[in-house]
């Protein structure tokens, strides 16, 4: 039996199950299917750097912090119970001169 919140994208529509002729059900997208799709897309794009679902989440949070969003807002969007977990993403604010890109790079 599915747990509440188990699916990344729960379906609200019924459709025919291609694996079971005549069976009508909801087709949800769970975490493992999403991870497989991202892996396939990374391979198809020929990316050499590893990218995962968590990479997207991390990038989203990092861009919010870089854009000046309040850390409590980022915490809420990520669903972190403790703001200390969200504070990990402030590493982008603490890079000093390392954050400056040379036009020669």
* Bridge-based pairing state of the strands 14-16 and 29-30: unpaired
pLDDT, one tens digit per residue, over 3-12 is 445 566 677 8
User: Packing angle between helix 53-66 and helix 71-78, nearest 10 degrees?
Assistant: 160
Instruction: Say if CB 66 and CB 89 are below 8 A apart.
Output: no
Name the pTM for this structure.
0.60
Average pLDDT, integer, range 69-90: 91
Please list the residues that pair with 30 across neighbouring strands: 7
Give the pLDDT of residue 44.
96
C-beta neighbour count of 52 within 10 angstroms: 12
CA atoms within 13 A on the CB side of 19: 3
């Amino acid at each position: 039996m599915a747990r509440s919140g188990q699916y990344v994208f729960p379906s609200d529509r019924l459709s025919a199950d291609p694996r079971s002729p005549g069976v009508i059900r909801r087709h949800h997208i769970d975490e493992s299917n999403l991870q497989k799709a991202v892996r396939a897309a990374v391979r198809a794009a020929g990316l050499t750097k590893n990218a995962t679902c968590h990479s997207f989440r991390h990038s989203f949070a990092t861009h919010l912090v870089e854009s000046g969003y309040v850390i409590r807002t980022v915490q809420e969007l990520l669903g972190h119970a403790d703001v200390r977990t969200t504070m990990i993403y402030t590493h982008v604010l603490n890079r000093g001169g390392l954050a400056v890109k040379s036009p020669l790079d």
